[in-house]
Amino acid sequence: MLSIRKGMKKVDTIIAALPILLKGLQVTLYIFVIAIILGFVIGLLVAMLRLAPIKILNWIAKMYVDAIRGTPFIVQLFFIYFGINSLHIVSLNNTTAGIITVAINAGAYFAEIIRAGIQSIDKGQTEAARSIGFTGAQTMRYVVLPQAFRRMLPTITNQSIISLKDTSLLSVIGIADLTQQGQIQASATFEAFKVWLAVGIIYFIIIYLLTLLANFVEKRIELR
Amino acid sequence: MSIISVKNLRKSFGNIEVLKEINAEVQEKEVICVIGPSGSGKSTFLRCLNRLEEISGGEVVINGHNITDPKININKVRQEVGMVFQQFNLFPHKTVLENITLGPIKIFTIDKAEAEKTALELLVKVGLKEKANSYPGELSGGQKQRVAIARALAMNPKIMLFDEPTSALDPEMVGDVLEVMKQLAKEGMTMVVVTHEMGFAREVGDRVIFLDGGYIVEENEPNQLFGNPQNERTKAFLSKVL
Ligand SMILES: Nc1ncnc2c1ncn2[C@@H]1O[C@H](COP(=O)(O)OP(=O)(O)OP(=O)(O)O)[C@@H](O)[C@H]1O
Ligand SMILES: [Mg+2]
């Protein structure tokens, strides 16, 4: 009797914590969605620079990609939040700094994925498009990118999942994301095991849904 | 005035000079067949005519446009020059109809309905009307190549370039494609055709150019060139392929 009541009480603490965790999830998703879109745009631009017939642009793009790939995410985050802010030229709040870091980080990886995707498309496709009279930009837009995107989708999904998980590191600069709310709840309730289990399950569900979405898009494309 | 005029055309890849001083004139409605051994520069020559290869030297004038002039808008000139490739190069993510209408819709910005109407007429012409909504992956090689011809024709070009259009096809598919090309020639299209199909060259060609070692070694009307070749290298080549 006593132990059941005790168990009920423990479940209650999770149920009581849940709305707060979901608030954290909202912040996580908000940051993720904005950052991933920005990151994709950055990736697209950097991939173009990487493939442009101008050496200096290739070089700049490669420097950026190498710098991101060669440093830990958390160092990038500290550099942007503490480092840039310490110059007193701009003042970034933690959410903005978090979004920028995730976007710039994902952008570098996306750039490599997109570059490889573009290069995997047969040269004959470009030649056919150019022979019709398309400009280089039109050829990219109508012929190369749509095909490259299909091939890239699984890797893009993978990188998006990694970026979503990276957002949990933003809690160290005080962003009230899912992980941060988990920390607060865990110490407030003394139920670390259950709170962190719940947080893990929430991340898992979101990533699972993301995977389902990607599979759905992939299937739709394959039908063609 | 010639519709294609090539003067002292040279083309190098790095240190290797592939075309060494090509001079050629093509008149409107002429069908020129280009033959020669593998690696002799036939494709390179053809690709210089729409500047898919950058030209190293000399002058190429296409329908009055000097395409060796760096200031020319090459995209505009290419609209007047259709090209058909050995490997078809259809856009696999687009239906047959979309393959044909993409250029007219995006480049001429005509509306979709009108572009589709023209595309369907072209498909009737190449005998593939029922494939309008198929994807290239669902077609045989011969069907793909006929779609590729229709795609090029959709831009209403003045000149058509063919680079071994039947070389990647199973023998039983070759006839259909050649038939479409013959029809096109009959309608008065100016054509430059790189080919191994000596029968086609003989029957349809107005002139045959024999290319070897980066030079035009011999050039004549087909009966003369095939029946009475003058140059030793032409003779040697023909004895191998005929
Ligand atoms: N992009 C390139 N870079 C370097 N060399 C090239 C390139 N394209 C062609 N070549 C070389 O130029 C020469 C002529 O090639 P080309 O493709 O024009 O020959 P071809 O007459 O069309 O031969 P085939 O009958 O085999 O198609 C070959 O020696 C080839 O290796
Ligand atoms: Mg060739």
On whether the CB atoms of residues A127 and B52 are closer than 8 A, the answer is yes
Write out pLDDT tens, residues B96-125. 999 999 999 999 999 999 999 999 999 999
Q: What DSSP letter does each residue of chain A carry, written as one string? A: -HHHHHHHHHHHHHHHHHHHHHHHHHHHHHHHHHHHHHHHHHHHHHHHHHHSS-HHHHHHHHHHHHHHHTS-HHHHHHIIIIIIHHTTSS---HHHHHHHHHHHHHHHHHHHHHHHHHHTS-HHHHHHHHHHT--HHHHIIIIIHHHHHHHHHHHHHHHHHHHHHHGGGGGGGT---HHHHHHHHHHHHT-HHHHHHHHHHHHHHHHHHHHHHHHHHHHHHHT-
State mean pLDDT over B59-85.
97
Which residues of chain A are within 8 Å of residue B87 when distances are taken between CB atoms?
124
Which residues of chain B are within 8 Å of residue A224 when distances are taken between CB atoms?
93, 135
Kindly identify which residue of chain B lies nearest to residue A128, measuring between CA atoms.
Answer: B89
Query: pLDDT at position A210, please?
Result: 95
Write out pLDDT tens, residues B149-194. 999 999 999 999 999 999 999 999 999 999 999 999 999 999 999 9
Neighbours of B208 (CB within 10 A): 25
Residue A107: closest CA among A42, A31, A32: A42
Min Cα separation A132/chain B (Å): 6
Q: Is B195 in the pocket of ligand 1 (CB under 6 A)?
A: no
Residue B46: closest CA among B164, B184, B133, B212: B164
Ligand 1 atom closest to the Cα of residue B40 is: 21
**Contact state of A130 with B91 under an 8 Å Cβ cutoff:** no
Interior/surface letters A200-210, b for 16+ CB within 10 angstroms, e for the rest: eebbeebeeee
Classify residue B72 by its DSSP letter: S
Ligand 1 atom closest to the Cα of residue B164 is: 27
Query: A-side interface with B, Cβ within 8 Å?
Result: 122, 124-125, 127-135, 138, 142-143, 146-147, 150, 224
State mean pLDDT over B6-23.
96
Query: pLDDT at position B98, please?
Result: 97
Q: Which two tokens stand for residue A3?
A: 């132990």
* Protein residue whose Cα sits closest to atom 28 of ligand 1: B39
Min Cα separation A155/chain B (Å): 19
Q: What DSSP letter does each residue of B191-228 carry, written as one string? A: EEEE-S-HHHHHHH-SEEEEEETTEEEEEE-HHHHHHS
On whether the CB atoms of residues A113 and A69 are closer than 8 A, the answer is no
- The percentage of chain B sitting over the pLDDT mark of 70, rounded to a whole number, equals 100
What does R_g of chain A's alpha carbons equal in angstroms?
Answer: 22
The ligand whose atoms approach the alpha carbon of B163 most closely is 2
Q: What is the average pLDDT score of chain B?
A: 96
Angle at A186 between CA A185 and CA A189, to 5 degrees: 75
Positions of chain A with pLDDT under 50: 1
* Protein residue whose Cα sits closest to atom 29 of ligand 1: B39
Kindly identify which residue of chain A lies nearest to residue B153, measuring between CA atoms.
Answer: A132
Ligand 1 atom closest to the Cα of residue B47 is: 18
Query: pLDDT at position A87, please?
Result: 95
Q: Is B39 in the pocket of ligand 1 (CB under 6 A)?
A: yes
Residues composing chain A: 224
Min Cα separation B164/chain A (Å): 14
* Protein residue whose Cα sits closest to atom 9 of ligand 1: B44
Collapsing DSSP states into helix, strand and coil, what is residue B57? strand
Residues 6+ apart with CB under 8 A from B166: B145, B173, B174, B177, B178, B195, B197
SS3 content of chain B, % helix, strand, coil (to 5): 40, 25, 35
Chain A interface includes B40 (CB < 8 A) = no
Q: Which two tokens stand for residue B203?
A: 């029957």
Distance CA A155, CA A153 (A): 6
**Contact state of A142 with B106 under an 8 Å Cβ cutoff:** yes
Compute, in angstroms, the gap from residue B39 CA to the centroid of ligand 2. Answer: 7
Write out pLDDT tens, residues A154-213. 999 999 999 999 999 999 999 999 999 999 999 988 889 999 999 999 999 999 999 999
pTM, 2 dp: 0.87
**Contact state of B78 with A131 under an 8 Å Cβ cutoff:** yes
For B:52-81, CB contacts with A below 8 A are 52, 75-76, 78-79, 81
Q: Is B38 in the pocket of ligand 1 (CB under 6 A)?
A: yes
Which H or E run includes B33?
A: strand B31-35
Q: Over 50: is that where the pLDDT of B53 sits?
A: yes
Query: pLDDT at position A1, please?
Result: 46
Which residues of chain A are within 8 Å of residue B90 when distances are taken between CB atoms?
128
Residue A181: closest CA among A9, A11, A12, A19: A19
Classify residue B137 by its DSSP letter: G
Interior/surface letters B1-35, b for 16+ CB within 10 angstroms, e for the rest: eebbbbeebbbeeeeeebbbebebebeeebbbbbb
Chain A interface includes B144 (CB < 8 A) = no
Chain A interface includes B83 (CB < 8 A) = yes
Q: Over 90: is that where the pLDDT of B34 sits?
A: yes
Q: Over 90: is that where the pLDDT of B40 sits?
A: yes
Query: pLDDT at position A6, please?
Result: 55
Neighbours of B129 (CB within 10 A): 13
What does R_g of chain B's alpha carbons equal in angstroms?
Answer: 18
Query: pLDDT at position B227, please?
Result: 94
